[in-house]
Chain A
Amino acid sequence: MPSQFSARVDTNRDLGGGYVVLEFAAEGGGLGDVVAGQFAMLRGDWGRELLNPRAFSVLWSAPDGRFAVLLKAYGRGTTRLVASQPGARVTVTGPLGHGFAPPDGVRTQLLVAGGVGLPPLHLQARQSAARGHAGVTELYYGGRNRDDLVMLDDFAAWGVRAVLATEDGSAGIRGFVTAALEERLVEAQRSGEQVEILSCGPTPMLAAVRKIGLRFEVPTWLCLEEEMACGFGVCLGCAVPVHGPRPYLYCCSDGPVFEAKQVRWP
């Protein structure tokens, strides 16, 4: 069950490439158990200038109320958060939304990540490894250059194979990570291996992953981002176009994880 509580920035760790991990200590309460893909709404002491909290996927959450997010300065809210110093207070609402399903032990989970879309897949890999499923978990991780790929040591420590791609070729293969994903799917098709795709990242990447998943007829789950105000199903601002009886579902309360074939994108 989600709750609202206040927390303080404990550490602000610069990972390079503009990425920052903020670790928080809750002052009473906490996020508790979090499913990979679930998020929290964070708001600093922003006064009346910035009204609404911002959504962040949970990177990890500990039983003592500590938790972390990965972020990059983007607009007004993230710029403030990236600059926040230890001791800074934030109001937290979460955990919110529905995350990814854990591996069923049969299908190989191909985690496809880009940019600040890493946290849900990082948490999925962490939890899968802890449950003994590192062998059926693989990471496909793309960025513009080497600096865009962060926290790689964790995946290595968990025994999760990572395939990297950069647009400038400075790490892994040169090009988009979706090319590597396609090759992997061809291989799986040939060998009859059962796979599924879990993806989070920039919308153009998710759009490409969706098309690939549909083409290869592989179960594909996308963790989406929409503009949010409340994060808990009240404002109806975060509509996601879908197929089915209703034209829209809500990113915050029905998602943020949606099945690719349900999403009504071009």
Chain B
Amino acid sequence: MTAAPRTAAIDPASVDLRTRMGALELGDPILAASGCFAYGQQFADFMDLRRLAGLSTKGISPKPRFGNPLPRICETASGMLNSIGLENVGAEAFLAEKLPFLRELGVSVWVNFFGEDFAAYVECARLLEAGRGQGIAVLEMNISCPNIKKGGIEFGTVPEVAHRLTRACVDVTDLPIVVKLTPNVADIVGMADAVAQAGAAGVSLINTITGMAIDVRTRRPRIATMYGGLSGPAIKPVALRMVHQVATALPGLAICGMGGIVSGEDALEFIMAGASCVQVGTANFARPDAALVVVDELRARMAELGIASVSEIVGCIRPIAPEAPQVTE
């Protein structure tokens, strides 16, 4: 039995949602996640984008990519599988055609990026460095590319390789690099430590979990590449566990948490587990303004619980108190 902290509800308007992700200051802790927000434009029809604290773009590679055969997505219990194939417009077109729109919004723009091989990662970081001072706040390096072939798996799963890759990218840009880790590893702390040692400004946790769905009538996988990335509420417990493990083992490392966030309470769980900010991904498909809904709900829930500021609860959770010793006689 663990008693809840005894606190009276407070005025929602007085809740301080400001947070820091390393040196980066954010108006609130809720951002839109990569691949679930494109380059932002389509959302302007449905919401005031300037109300967002920030967003992460679709993953950018040095050259444009066209993506995978179809079907590319399928819905599963409380989640969905995707194998989009990291389709994107390429770094050059991103800087010329997409970034000016994002810059105008005045939100924290995280540019998610990757490369097909080691050199392409470094090349992409170098190309995006040109966007420093043009609206880019963070480079979010996606080292978990389950959907590209060519041995890309090592970047996200072998700590030494991730370390070298991070170091090489940090060396070519003055933008902070937040490394987005894959959950498809045995030791997430080892991976986080490796990229932190290489100069990462923080980590994003988690990308999608590799999964599969089968159509029993046709005896075919439901997505063309056989396996895809699972996202949505189904993965939240795994994401929370990883955020907590990394936050506990590496207290100095800034964490952006994500995986299945749909409500303010979900966001609160991630923050309490140790995330300084979070991203909302799949939920944007059902509600383009999902991130703003999460912000509003977070504020209301914090007020109800008497929590005055985000900063006081980052990583605040404590273990459940030990049981009383059993008397056998």
Contacts and interface: CB of A to CB of B under 8 A. Distances in A.
Contact of A229 (B58, B262, B285): B285
Interface stretch (A18-26, A42-50, A148-156, A170-178): A42-50
A179 interface: no
Nearest to B46: A4
A226 B70 contact: yes
B233 A93 contact: no
Contacts of A248: 66-67, 70, 87
A227 to B, nearest CB: 5
Given A43-B286, A229-B80, A246-B66, A234 B72 contact: no
A51 B74 contact: no
Contacts of A4: 46, 287-289
Interface residues of B, number: 37
A152 to B, nearest CB: 31
A162 interface: no
Most B CB within 10 A of own CB, among A4, A48, A253: A48
**What is the interface of chain B mostly: helix, strand, loop, or mixed?**
loop
B73 A53 contact: no
B284 A230 contact: yes
B141 to A, nearest CB: 20
Contact of B287 (A91, A235, A247): A91
A3 B287 CA distance: 11
B42 A3 contact: no
Contact of B78 (A1, A48, A230, A234): A48
A246 B89 CA distance: 12
Nearest to B43: A234
- By Cβ-Cβ distance, the 10 closest A-B pairs, closest first, are A237-B73, A230-B285, A229-B285, A48-B233, A234-B38, A239-B70, A236-B84, A237-B72, A247-B66, A48-B78
13 contacts: A51-B285, A51-B286, A52-B75, A91-B286, A227-B72, A229-B285, A234-B42, A235-B35, A238-B73, A240-B70, A246-B66, A247-B66, A248-B67
